């Protein structure tokens, strides 16, 4: 059964004023390991076709800029109800 869609957004400020790039990641094991989400390099990620098997999946964004270390956002957990 497909439950619809979900959206996550992130914003970051990195000292130095350089442009920030993003890479969204997901974790299926509670945050122990992370995999890049293909083509998810904006401040928002839209998930289509969410199913019950996606319940509990964590998402985070990596923010990076020239001259600064890459920083992960806090993770958000996708929760399916219904």
2-59 residue pLDDT tens: 778 899 999 988 777 788 999 999 999 999 999 999 999 999 999 999 999 999 999 9
The per-residue pLDDT for 1 is 66
The per-residue pLDDT for 31 is 96
Q: Output the CA torsion 20→41→33→9 (10° steps).
A: 80
Count of Cβ atoms closer than 10 Å to residue 66 Cβ? 10
């Amino acid at each position: 059964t497909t439950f619809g869609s979900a959206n996550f957004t992130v914003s970051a400020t990195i000292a130095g004023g350089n442009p920030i790039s993003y890479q969204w990641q997901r974790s299926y094991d509670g945050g122990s390991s992370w995999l890049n989400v293909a083509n998810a390099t904006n401040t928002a990620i839209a998930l289509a076709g969410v199913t019950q098997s996606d319940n509990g999946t964590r998402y985070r964004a990596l923010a990076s800029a020239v001259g600064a270390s890459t920083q992960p956002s806090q993770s958000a957990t996708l929760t399916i109800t219904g």
